Structure 1
Amino acid sequence: YQWRQTITFRSCQHGDAWRDVKPTQLPSVDGVLAMYDSNEVMRFTMTNKIGDVNGGEPEENPCFTGRRGCDTNAICRPEQGTQFTCQCAAGFNGDGHICYDVDECREEPQICGFHAVCNNHPGTFRCECEDGYQFGSDGRTCTALSRPVDACEEGTHTCDIQERARCTYTGGSSYSCSCLPGFSGDGRTCQDIDECQAGPCHRDAECYNNEGSFTCQCAPGYYGDGFLCTPERTKTRCQSHRESLLSVTEYGPRGPRPSSGHYIPRCDENGAYEPTQCHGSSGYCWCVDRNGQEIPGTRSEPGSSPMCVEHGGLRPPVGPTPRPDVHPLPPGTHLLFTQSGRIEHVPLEGSAMKKDDAKPVLHLPEKVVIGVTYDCVEKMVYWTEITSPSISKASMEGGDPVSVVRSDLGSPEGIAIDHLGRTVFWTDSVRDRIEVASLGGSQRRVIVDSDLVNPRAIVAGPPSGNLFWTDWNRDALKIETSYMDGSNRRVLVKDDLGLPNGLTYDRHSFLLCWADADTHAMECMDPARGDRRKVAEGVRYPFAITSLGNTVYYTDWQREAVVAVDRHTGEETDQFQPQKRTKLYGLTTTYAQCPSGQNYCSVNNGGCTHLCLATPLGRSCRCPNDA
């Protein structure tokens, strides 16, 4: 602070003692007291005296005659006669005529003590405490502030891992731990609950316990969701409607027979309502929607038929089918793999591949399908193809393929889904970047586009909010990870890699596994600990990889097969070669029920207006690139 003041002196006109007072007077300061903080001066007092510039002597004070040449930061001291000396004030050095500031902070680095910062000022210095510290009771020593710590946010809590437990901040420096649904314990240690012991599945179904959840799968020869299994497939609305009317009987002379004169709906070969329905007795015809409801204004006179538009019905296959016996995925866990022009599935019984039940689920002529992934929420399969670069999807319960992304793509290859945050991620090995979009293809954003040369495989860990991918850069092969918003990017593996093709993340063991087509090895590691170990050697030419329990599955170009390997022993346990002998590309696992878990984007899009991208301790709200 700099203090400026003007003192005005006026003698008493009635006092005889002041009649001879000279007009120029000298103020002298006896004492100053100042109290202030960083924001304001709180108290300031000064004691002054006013007197003759010559101190009562008849001679003029040489320090006030205007002839002195002292520095502005010096004190003039009068001596005999007209003599005077100049002396630099405290905090300055020099001969008095020229004075230099003394930098106390540089000359005595520890002058302010620990956890303090020294700031030099003209003629003095000032000590300030570092962030997180304040002056103690002595006004000189910096002591640490006692501030609340959110251990849940900072990750310093003692709760079990976030896949099994939830940390809840309760104010101050307190928090509580609780196990997620499907687990039991005190929150600091949570054990999986074996729901299968309670027998939740149908009597004609098998129960498979998972980490934090379970799945039910109907036994061979039965159909359903595992909670209800029947020897026959569930009837469609049209089939049930038709059978209910045909069951109505009337009695005539020859006994019971089907009722006549009633409208009986017609169903197509897939059990859907035919677009044109007619009354058998009256001859009237009309158009119906997919629910069998008459479309107003379409009823025609007897003898004529209206032009009704096909509404698709409930066709079992997705898109054009290569064989008439192709059906949608039945309930249960399956492997989906891609070949040139098609996507096929292999049902799993435990970890064993049911090869006799393997069938195509999607036929895509003249397309080279590379990556494949599955959305367990809406039962949709997503894939990338490079012939006319695009990302598409189709329902496993029937319907035509739908394009998700078609523009500004070079060579989309790896693809992954966050089923909790409802986003899709993919790698582009021509554009050299990783992108994200909503599952419908909107809200598109580039999240990684630097230091990438040939990104290929990508997998997501939705509950943890992490991404993992491989980069084929011949000069710097690597496997990397980041949060789902692209932040906290780091290299996990960079040594002893050749062609890291396939990549998979196991949600139970938290292991990241990959298959290398150059080193002919399969390896796994815990990304949190960095412990790397070989699972299998002598693998010929793996392309894609996925895991289920202790079994790792991969597609092999040379063997043209899906191969199963025990992750613990490294032994090959099974292989499946499809009828069409060509190279196999992408591979993924589909579940009858979504894996348990949640992230910060699971509910209400995390409160974001556009993209919600999960991170281990929260979420990032991001705008699409075209916003």
Structure 2
Amino acid sequence: ATLFSCWLGWATIFAIALSVNGLSKRDMFDYGEQAGDQLLEQGTDQTQQLILNQSMFFFDGTYDTVYINTNGFLSVEEPQVESEYLGKMPASFRMIAVFLGDLDNSDGVGKVYYRQDSRPSILLRTTDHINQAFPQDDEIKPTHALIITWENVAAHGVPGRGDGLDRKRNTFQLVVASMASASYAILFYPREGLQYISTPVAGQSELVHTGFVKGRVKGWFNWSSSPGPYYRIATDNETSIRQLSEETNSGRRGVWVYEIGTSPIFYSITPGQVTNLYSEPPQPSYSEPTQPSYPEPTQPSYPEPTQPSYLEPTEPRYPEPNQPRYPEPVQPSYLEPVQPAQPQPPRYEPQTPQVVVVDEDDDLDVDVFAYNSETCASNRQKCSSFADCKDYTNGYCCQCRPGFYGNGKDCVAEGKPQRMNGKVNGRVFVGNTPSPLELSNNDLHSYVVANDGRAYVAISTIPAGLGPSLQPLSSLGGVIGWAFALEQPGYENGFSIIGGVFSRQAEVTFLPGNERLTIKQEFKGIDEHDHLVVSTELEGRLPEVPRGSTVQIDPYKEIYQYGSNLITSSSNRDYTVSLPDGSVQTKAYQWRQTITYQSCPNDEEVRAVQSTQQLSVDQIFVMYDSGNQLIRYAMSNKIGSIHSGPPEQNPCFTGRHGCDTNAACRPEEGIQFTCECSTGFTGDGRQCYEVDRPIDHCQRGTNNCDIPERARCSYTGASAYICSCLSGFVGDGYTCQDIDECEQGRCHRDAVCYNSQGSFTCQCRPGFHGDGFQCTPGSPEHEKTQCERDRESIQVSSNTGSFSFFHLRPAVSQYVPTCDQHGAYEPTQCHGSIGQCWCVDGNGQEISNTRTGPGQRPLCIDRGVIPPPIGPTTRPDVSPVAPGTHLLFAQSGKIEQIPLDGYSMNKGEAKALLHLPDRVAIAVAYDCVEKMVYWTDITGPSISKASLEGGETISLVTTDLESPEGLAIDHLARLMFWTDSMKDRIEVAKLDGSQRRVLFDTDLVNPRPIVADPSYGRLYWADWNRDGPKIEMSNMDGTDRTVLVKDDLGLPNGLTYDTESQQLCWADAGTRKVQCMDPNGRNRRTIVEGIQYPFAIVSHGRNLYYTDWRREAVVAVDRTTDRETDEFLPQKRSRVYGIATTPTQCPQAYNYCSNNGGCSHLCLPRRGGFTCRCPDVVDGSCVERNL
């Protein structure tokens, strides 16, 4: 009780201290000459041009040069004289007004410092500020920082007593953090640093300005210009300016964060979203340490290589790891040395109810949604499938289950060997050579026997000029040795603590030549093959090791210090080089590295992680294989205490246990131990065998059936399958031969028979009509259709009372239906007298919300009967596709397929996949599990399917449908969802069409496209209601229905969701744009615009493919370049409808209904769980429940 009282008391004192004390100067980024800053010249209107090491994004522009000015601003254009903007804001040039006024640093007291910085500790601080200001966004990782500090600057023209000590002075700071596609501004206003808020301008006192100025914007044809946007941080109000040091938009008093520029698309300046102050103990300042944790070399510094061609390596821009992240800690500490972890007082942060918060952004004209649901119920899928999710006061954490280890996001089986794969890139100088050797996507493979800590590394395609000199760098891939090192009692290896997502930077200094090499590695977690994925960058210079030399590295020990999301280590390593002439050289290098990662900040049960651990590495083997251009490393790794003690005798800790490589060693009393096979293996531990897993040889293509064009492979469970010949072929399934149906007399006697592989066609002879199976002489008697009868009745009624030799004509003001050449209603009907047009269904009835005014014609779906093509026709069956990814799209009477070669359409191999005479297929979807294509038909109407590998058409839903126009498949839960634009509802059913249930039948007018995200149990659909188009979202069980987009929409016909990039994209025939955004409604951007009339869209990798009614084509769009790259024009030119892809493998995903969740009937996924629901027509055995 006493400990708790003290704990609570300290928490209260800290919270009060934070609420009373504002931002201090010591809380800003380090500045001054000791931080490496440069100094702006003294004066009242001094400007310094600075060329940036990395581009900066501001509004919609990209800039490599900036201008720093005494008067409290940074501009990207050369500023005008101060008389042109002081008192005349907004300025005519682009600037960031940090604290703009007539400022003065000419007295020697005030100073303006500036520098560019890419050190990891600085970038970590910028990351921390940005991610805390935008907690709902993906993690931001800047690669460059520009730091400008105005210290003790006075107001120009304010009199004093002469020594400058009585003048009021301001101190403030701007940090511009940039990455590959965006820049952020972080502004610091310390309370004691704002002593005045106005300066004299033209004899009057003018309040200072803070904000972002776009400058003059040119109009059309550059004939005129007008002031661009001026985003104000503080208004022309004294209180507003004084609040700069008291309020925040980033959760920290006096700190303001803004997204100021993005590429390639920019929408608006975006402020941070956290206006409440975090209640936590104040942290020590981030003063830059002189790296006391690293043993410093005897020399005070190491000069850079003297050759002009080698510059200080720039920071490579690593791709962002596509991994979910934990909420950022409010203020991680990077002070060194790190003390052993102590229990911390609980942080009482404001709790946010789990609701959807809607923020309207006038600049975007789009609803933005933020989900405040940091609980296991909403985030279970972010944990490893071998982990449990646990809720805490401030959020959730993932914990690996017994038998597995890791950080909960990544978990691997104990004792199981681990692999690491990746690519190596970079530029390396060798010896005194003036030109670097390039590494481009060289393969790196590593393997570690986890139960004895032995690691093996190989890097391929290393040129002979570089390979020998890489031999001393065993730690290049040896990080996997630390990650999976053999653990001593009470100590943990790297993967047990931080998992598989982290960044590593190592600095290597070779002695005595002072050559330097930088190694940067980005670890991206465990992939679907259970391999750790890494990307590696090398930059710098190596001492030359002559060809034919061998290298021996002495055993070494490396001390790892563990802090908050930061691990540092250093060591000195000795090695000997045996030259071809027999001589031996002894050399050394110093190794210093930093590892950054993201821990879970919500765990209230503080893990007893040792603050300092020692990695012992011995039995080091290195070799360059010149014949195969391979560099090989091997080493044994143990992690334990830094203190020497009696050697551990238990074989589990020495590695001499004799367990199988796929077994975990379990220590017992003394030197006793047992061996236990890893998960997925069976045996006595000394010998382990992989558990026999069933293999679907049909799906893998490892069966011995005849080719898919002639035979079908049917999986029957376990690893068994059956081969059978397709219809039109005969044989045992392993060998199939075509049946010549013409020899069997299948056609009518007055018809001609045409045989083809697997099929045949019949055509009536000249003078006869029919389908070839029945032929009759002469032409058929034409029976008038409903449209023709309606047209005739109106014409007759308007001409009653008189006889005319001319054609019948209606009255001038009367509407007459138009019929096509086959007598069906034209889908678009018009009334010439009033100038209006509208869409009709197959019965001639007007479709609501389709009527347009004079001068416009709506594009309507042709619901009439498809005319039979001239010449022989094939039966309505499937033409099997070849292996690989294809595009499937619907056209009148058929579904066609286009093979994809990467992202290019192989237009020469395009052909009809499915013939559907007298049918209009609209939506197309694909089930990657059973390789089935699904489609909706509005002439039936119906929903049907057929195997992609050949087979008959199977009707699934044929009743209670009117106009099914959208279709989505959940391949995990085995469900399909569809929209019906006539019944105005959205339904769900099993993939066999059974257990139908209406999800929504309200607030729908013209629902058309619908897509599913099985991993998160989400549905997205669009309603092209002309009076109120919208894009909506819900869980698959019908809960949490939400409008995502309602502004700047016209006719959102097409919709697609990319599970890899988690982007929702749509094609709009009204705005004539293709746009994308994240599933929370943020980051909306236009991909292409000015397109004609899109109908459907699908995503595949970096490309989008959409069908266009006016172009009657399939169009490819590259999302990375925002431009159209190709189009496919079908041989038969007519409207194209739905489109889908046929991936060769299902995406790696999981949801709670993968095995129907134990439900009696429908298992409907939702975020973080599932719901058992009954179909609308149900028997008495159905049970509903929420899980």
| Superposition TM-score tier, normalisation by shorter sequence | 0.5 to 0.7
Q: Tell me how far apart the structure 2 counterparts of residues 355 and 589 of structure 1 sit (CA, whole Å).
A: 15
Q: What is the CA deviation profile of residues 441-477 of structure 1, one whole-angstrom value per residue up to 9, with x for unaligned ones?
A: 1110000111111100000001110000001122221
Equivalent position of 2:381 in the other structure: 162
Select which of 1138, 1143, 1163 maps to 1:612: 1163
SS at match of 2:1138: strand
Corresponding residue for residue 1030 of structure 2: 478
Counterpart residue number, 2:1061: 509
* Alpha-carbon distance change, 356 to 161 in structure 1, aligned in 2, over 3 angstroms: farther
Letter in 2 for 1:472: W
Aligned-pair distance for 1:619? 0.4
The whole-number CA distance in structure 2 between the counterparts of 1:183 and 1:436 is: 42
Using the aligned pairs only, state the percent identity. Answer: 52
Corresponding position: 1:625 with 2:1176:
yes
Q: Which has the higher helix share?
A: 2
Change (3 A) 1:382 1:517: same
| Structure 1 residue 156: Cα displacement | 3.2
Counterpart Cα distance in 1 of 2:392 and 2:1110: 61
1:403 Cα deviation after fit: 0.9
Deviation at 1:360, TM superposition (A): 0.8
Distance 1:620 1:393 in 2: 27
CA distance in 2, matches of 1:329, 1:489: 38
Structure 2 CA distance for partners of 1:196 and 1:344, relative to 1, 3 Å: farther
Match of 1:448 in 2: 1000
Aligned equivalents of 1:590, 1:601: Cα separation in 2:
23
**1:368-390 alpha-carbon deviations (Å, 9 max, x no partner):** 11001001111111100111211
| Residue identity opposite 1:162 in structure 2 | Q
Asked whether 1:415 is paired with 2:646, we answer no
Deviation (angstroms), 1:393: 0.8
CA distance in structure 2 between the aligned counterparts of 1:413 and 1:183, rounded to whole angstroms: 47
Give the structure 1 partner of residue 933 of structure 2. Answer: 381
Residue 379 of structure 2 contacts residue 1168 of structure 2 at CA under 8 Å; is this kept in 1?
no
Contact 1:317–1:327 (Cα < 8 Å) also in 2: no
> For the structure 1 residues 530 and 419, does the alpha-carbon distance in structure 2 shift closer, same or farther, using more than 3 Å as the test?
same
Specify which of 718, 728, 731 is matched with residue 273 of structure 1.
731
| Number of the residue aligned with 1:193 | 527
> Conserved in 2, the CA contact under 8 Å of 1:484 and 1:614?
yes
Specify the SS of the correspondent of 2:998. strand
SS in 1 for 2:919: strand
Task: Give secondary structure in 2 for the equivalent of 1:162.
Answer: helix
1:73-472 equivalences under 5 Å are 155-156=374-375, 162=381, 165-166=384-385, 168-169=388-389, 175-176=398-399, 177-179=408-410, 189=501, 191=525, 193=527, 233=707, 271-273=729-731, 327-472=879-1024
**8 Å Cα contact 1:435-1:444 kept in structure 2:** yes
Closer, same or farther in 2 for the Cα pair 1:567/1:237, shift >3 Å?
A: closer
Deviation, structure 1 residue 188: 8.3
Q: 1:319 to 1:608 in 2, by over 3 A?
A: farther
How far did residue 178 of structure 1 move?
Answer: 3.4
CA distance in 2, matches of 1:608, 1:157: 22
Structure 2: which 5+ residue stretches go unaligned? Answer: 1-347, 349-353, 355-371, 400-407, 413-417, 421-494, 502-523, 533-697, 713-723, 736-743, 745-756, 763-871, 1179-1187
Give distance in 2, aligned partners of 1:574 and 1:519: 21
- The aligned residue for residue 1124 of structure 2 is 572
For 1:425, the aligned partner's letter is: F
Per the alignment, residue 65 of structure 1 pairs with none
Give secondary structure in 1 for the equivalent of 2:908: helix
* 1:513-592 correspondence to structure 2 within 5 Å: 513-528=1065-1080, 530-592=1082-1144
Q: Between Structure 1 and Structure 2, whose CA radius of gyration is higher?
A: 1
Counterpart of 2:1064, as a letter, is L
| Rounded Cα–Cα distance in structure 2 between residues aligned with 1:423 and 1:318 | 36
CA shift for structure 1 position 272:
3.0
CA contact (8 A) 1:514 1:545 kept: yes
Q: Which amino acid aligns with 1:179?
A: D
Name the CA shift for 1:175/1:565 in 2 (closer, same or farther; >3 Å).
Answer: closer
TM-score scaled by structure 2?
Answer: 0.30
- CA contact 2:409–2:499 (8 Å) conserved in 1: yes
TM-score, reference length from structure 1: 0.56
Corresponding position of 1:52: none
Q: Deviations over 1:574-609 (max 9, x none)?
A: 111111111000001111111110100012x01111
Bigger drift between 553-562 and 189-198 goes to 189-198
2:878–2:947 Cα contact (<8 Å) kept: no
Equivalent residue number for residue 431 of structure 2: none
Q: CA deviation at 1:191?
A: 3.2
Number of positions where the alignment pairs a residue of Structure 1 with one of Structure 2: 390
Cα distance, 1:597–1:179 mapped onto 2, change above 3 Å: farther
> Per the alignment, do residues 192 and 581 of structure 1 end up closer, same or farther by CA in structure 2, a change over 3 Å counting?
farther
Q: Is the 8 A contact 1:453 1:473 kept in 2?
A: yes
Taking a change above 3 Å as real, the CA distance of residues 155 and 543 of structure 1, as seen in their structure-2 partners, is same
Closer, same or farther: CA 375–317 of 1 in aligned 2, 3 Å: farther
Per the TM alignment, residue 396 of structure 1 is displaced from its structure 2 partner at its CA by 1.4
Counterpart of 1:598, as a letter, is Y
- Distance change >3 Å, CA 581–CA 183, structure 1 → 2: farther
> SS at the partner of 1:602?
coil
Distance in 2, matches of 1:431 and 1:466, equals 22
Contact 1:374 1:590 in 2 (8 A): yes
What residue identity is the alignment partner of 1:350?
A: G
Give the C-alpha shift of residue 624 in structure 1: 0.3
Structure 2 SS opposite 1:463: helix
User: Is the contact between residue 318 and residue 400 of structure 1 (CA under 8 Å) also seen in structure 2?
Assistant: no
The residue that corresponds to 2:1147 in the other structure is 595
User: CA offset at residue 193 of structure 1?
Assistant: 3.4
Aligned partner of residue 916 in structure 2, secondary structure: strand
For the Cα contact (< 8 Å) 1:183–1:192, is it kept in 2? no
CA drift of 1:157 comes to 6.0
Distance 1:323 1:197, change over 3 A: farther
Q: Secondary structure at the match of 1:178?
A: coil
1:520-574 deviation per Cα after TM superposition (whole angstroms, max 9, x unaligned): 1000000225221101011111000001111000001111111001112211111
Counterparts of 2:903 and 2:1086 in 1: how far apart (Å)? 21
Question: How far apart are 1:361 and its partner, in Å?
Answer: 1.0
Separation (CA, whole Å) in 2 of partners of 1:361 and 1:483? 33
| Residues 879, 950 of structure 2: 8 Å contact kept | no
Unaligned runs of 5+ in 1: 1-143, 145-149, 199-223, 239-265, 275-289, 293-304, 306-314
Instruction: Work out the CA distance in 1 between the residues paired with 2:1069 and 2:761.
Output: 33
Query: Is the contact made by 1:414 and 1:426 (CA closer than 8 Å) also made in structure 2?
Result: yes
Q: What RMSD, in angstroms, separates the aligned Cα atoms of the two structures?
A: 4.2
Instruction: Report how far residue 510 of structure 1 moved.
Output: 0.3
| Conservation of the 8 A alpha-carbon contact between 1:319 and 1:401 | no
What is the identity, as a one-letter code, of the residue corresponding to 1:385? D
